[in-house]
Structure 1
Amino acid sequence: ATGAVNPKGWNLNVPAMPETIAATPSFGILGDFNLLGGFDRISLVAAVLLVFTLLLADFFDTMGTMTAIGNQAGLVDRDGNVEGANRILLVDSIAAAAGGAGSVSSNTSYIESASGVGEGARTGLASVVTGLLFLLTTFLAPLVAVIPYEAATPALIVVGFLMMTQIKGIDWDDLGIAIPAFLTIILMPFTYNISVGIGAGFVSFVVIRLFQGRTKEVNPLMWVVAGLFMIYFLQSPINIWTA
């Protein structure tokens, strides 16, 4: 929302009514991209790290969102696997590529989808309706801009509460499980990044099991993913070194 800052000093905005409630959306940047243009501006290593960062962020954001919402909706099997996960990842990957082709940021799934599940959404119809409403708001952008972020706070608090009910299934007596779970839970909101939380969970799980002498319990893929996340966390020093 736009308007004057709250005089009490809180990070709140006083909404200001727009001059018009509707406007024609601009599609001037649609398709305005260069597939290989990045290699002309940065080194090959930096470009690979950039793509790798987007891959990790997109994939694990989606996995985290999918797992959390799937558990909340009761759409997982007895092993905790989300039904139709391959189709969800396919749609998300196509959407991410479409975002780049549309000259906008990479599209991905959002944890706010849990608000629909909290109201009983299960079949996907709620997502279709949400998409149609978003399409409508492209023509009502001035009016939508009046709505402050604080208006969504109560719904997000309820969603967070519903998601926290899932921690009852964590084995808190096993440090190799409890500490990675704890780091994952607290780092997501503190860093504003789902991938950072998941990455900390992967890395800490592998490290703890290593020091416990229980490496046989670590799936080989976990070692690979933990290594990739270490590269992800070290990308800033690597970029500085390769610049």
Structure 2
Amino acid sequence: MVGGLDRRGSSEAAALAGRYELEGGATAAQRNGAKPPELILTRNAYYLWDGCNHAEGLALAYERQLFLHGSGLSTLANCMPGRDDPRFKRINVSEPRIGRTLDGLLLSSTAGAMRLRRTGEVPSTSDGVTTRLKPGTNFTFIDRGGGTLVILAGNRFHLTQSCGATEGRWRAAPGERDGGVRFGPDRTTETCMRDPAPHPLQRIYSDNVDVAIGPIRDIALFAGRFGSARARLAH
């Protein structure tokens, strides 16, 4: 076979945007009186209803994989026993692979698989999420072993990990028009290079990454070919 590799980053996320409901008949939660579980995807955000709990946050679809970062805010409604659908939520937040179907999506991960039927367009209100990196922004990572990323003036960055610190320049990723960035280190600390297993953050930043920053600049999500990293912003 002969072909080409087409990177599908946040540009594909715009095509996936919409309202989705769970297929396959009524769930136990619905039989107990809950409304059907629903997932709303925008280009960089998500809104999830699991039967009694509304949650929301950042979303990035990178090469047919869905990455989410919850804002920590949720709204409970009619949360009587049996009215939530934990499996629906568990699959959505487990970084599932995305398959396209005739009328929706197929999400599949180690947590299970489910089919979603598209039911409508995304509400017209803006989610306020940005993809711009600004000098002076300080990210503190809450997974992947922790660490900090500071965006400096002149398109410079400083990445601190448990194995050491890395400095360099960042730029818009070559050929990208949808928020993808590329970090180019001046050099990597010897301690990090001697690490027999690549540090999780080091591995993620070795390739193009998409970024989404929350509307009130409190949380951020980075996603790329080698996974995702979730962060909070220091003000």
Q: TM-score range by the shorter chain?
A: under 0.3
Which structure: greater helix fraction? 1
Please identify the structure whose Cα radius of gyration is greater.
Answer: 1
Q: Which protein has greater RCO, CA pairs closer than 8 Å, 6+ apart?
A: 1
Q: Scaled by the length of structure 2, what TM-score is found?
A: 0.23
Give TM-score scaled by structure 1 length: 0.23
